[in-house]
Structure 1
Amino acid sequence: MSGKDFQDFVVVVTGASTGLGRAIAVETASRGAAAVIINYASSADEAAETARQVEAHGAKAVIVQGDVASDDDCRRIATAAQPFGRIDALFNNAGVTKFAPNHADLDAVTAEDFLRLYSVNVVGAYQMVRAARSLLEAAPQPGAVVNTSSIAGVAGIGSSVPYAASKGALTTMTLSLARALAPKIRVNAICPGFIDTPWFGKGVGAERAQKMRDGAAASTPLKAASTAEDIAGAAVFLAAPASKHVTGETLLVDAGTHLNYSPLAMR
């Protein structure tokens, strides 16, 4: 535990109604954040539960509905932090996928699938940074952006080809923005592997999700099927004062999954 290193921080988390987004929101609140902007696209009841957990730690929760694929929605999400005068940390966590795990089946995905995934996973993150830029620059220390990428974007694996491609693009964009926005804003990314959240169950069904869970626990070097809480600490670290000299970094938080891919073993 890092005590209250987020004391009085203003935090924005996209895709915060469940899973990793919720875990990040609650973690920042537990570490002293004054306010957490909770974005959700469609799960109002689940966003309310995130807000309840955030407020249980003493932070003010502000819920904002919006699809980050919409630039207008991104500006509304960022504007929700305007009364606080700044944004100390922006977590670009919102993401979508198309489940087509047989990457050899090129007919399983369409151009529309690619465009939808890119519009949320890549363009959405870009638009959020653009909308939040002035408030990030108003933070007393360099404002921090943390993008949720994926081991899929590093190793070309995962739920579908367009998902892996979109996450690879997000990782590259992290480097571009880290250069462009320094020294006032730091930009980093985390690359989780399998995360045991409802997201997988909704996408592939309970039985296949259990097989994925068991497979992750058996195949990762750390023999673990990571939970959202397991990953949240790494994401929050990249926005914390402890990482104040870290920018343009991609942190693999995958229980060692990347070690199973020989080209990455020497990374």
Structure 2
Amino acid sequence: MTDQPAALITGSATGVGAATALQLARRGWNVAINYSRSEAQAQETAQACREAGADALVLQGDVARDADCRRLVAATVARWGRLDALVNNAGTTVFGEAARWDALDAEVFQHILGVNTVGTFQMVRAAVPHLKAARGSIVNVSSVAGALGIGSSVPYVASKGAVNSMTLHLARALAPEIRVNAVCPGLITSRWFARGIGEEAYEKTRQAYEAQVPLGRSSTPEDVAESIVWLVTGARTVTGELILLDSGVHLGRDTPRR
């Protein structure tokens, strides 16, 4: 077993997951980088973490598959002899025409729930014995969609609402050995959303969002990662929290801007 703590971050080739891995690496954590399709980007993220002084492990796997979840955890523990934090960041949705009610079918709905909700549970289940031994923590990357009922599609909103409820349940069930929290970002300036709706539509959405929200800005992947890292490395008395990282969108549209 190494003296350095170890974190497994799902969906960490790019975006919030990659930013979280790099920030943890800079704080002396070893990191397991998981991807489903973006191998080249995952390798780049791992190299950046190594340059920051960490050991980094790149693992392919689909969190919707229980066998993959168990394999990801087993490989992490085999590498470092421990698992101190699990960040459930992998997620999916549908945008645009595919998100219309009349275009949604059970297969689409079940796929989104399978990754966002079932995948989160399966990763937790696989990791719990090792996290208990480390008295570690879990951070679920949810969304303001799950708290406010807004978002890219009905199944996405439902999946993130389920993640929020599951976070509260797991915080009770796994205490006192494991802390369980969730972050719920609003609009994030990452390629995931821009690629989903197209660059032009994304830019219009971003501008409208920033004109509306009290803080007048979107979140960057690094903004979200900072909160995740705080929950992992500090926050010793924080569990069962759903932290809204939405620049105040939950306050409503009538909030005055100066």
| TM-score of the alignment, normalized to the shorter chain, above 0.5 | yes
Deviates more, 1:130-139 or 1:145-154: 130-139
SS of the equivalent of 1:188 reads strand
Determine whether 1:32 maps to 2:28.
Answer: yes
Structure 1, residues 109-159: CA drift from partner, whole Å, max 9, x if none? 2211110111000000100011111111121xx210000010011111111
Query: 1:226 Cα deviation (Å)?
Result: 1.4
CA distance in 2, matches of 1:221, 1:234: 19
Query: 1:261 Cα deviation (Å)?
Result: 6.3
Query: 1:184 Cα deviation (Å)?
Result: 1.1
Match of 2:147 in 1: 154
Residue 133 of structure 1: which of 128, 131, 141 is its match? 128
Contact 1:16-1:47 within 8 A present in 2 as well = yes
Contact 2:212-2:253 within 8 A present in 1 as well = no
Counterpart of 1:257, as a letter, is V
Query: 1:216 Cα deviation (Å)?
Result: 2.1
Match of 1:13 in 2: 9
Residue 43 of structure 2: which of 48, 58, 68 is its match? 48
Match of 2:65 in 1: 70
Query: 1:101 Cα deviation (Å)?
Result: 7.9
CA distance in 1, matches of 2:97, 2:177: 40
Match of 2:114 in 1: 119
1:106–1:118 Cα change, 3 Å: same
Match of 1:3 in 2: none
CA distance in 1, matches of 2:253, 2:230: 26
Match of 1:60 in 2: 55
Residue 247 of structure 1: which of 235, 239, 249 is its match? 239
CA distance in 1, matches of 2:218, 2:166: 28
Number of residue pairs the alignment of both structures matches: 251
Counterpart of 1:151, as a letter, is V
CA distance in 2, matches of 1:239, 1:191: 15
Contact 2:213-2:247 within 8 A present in 1 as well = yes
Counterpart of 1:181, as a letter, is L
Residue 188 of structure 1: which of 181, 187, 190 is its match? 181
Residue 101 of structure 2: which of 106, 109, 113 is its match? 106
SS of the equivalent of 2:37 reads coil
Contact 1:214-1:225 within 8 A present in 2 as well = no
Query: 1:100 Cα deviation (Å)?
Result: 4.1
Question: 4+ runs of 1 displaced by more than 3 Å?
Answer: 100-103
Match of 1:265 in 2: none
Q: Which runs of 5+ in 1 are unaligned?
A: 1-6, 263-267
CA distance in 2, matches of 1:124, 1:37: 17
TM-score (norm 1): 0.90
CA distance in 2, matches of 1:254, 1:22: 20
TM-score (norm 2): 0.93
Q: Which runs of 5+ in 2 are unaligned?
A: none
Query: 1:204 Cα deviation (Å)?
Result: 0.8
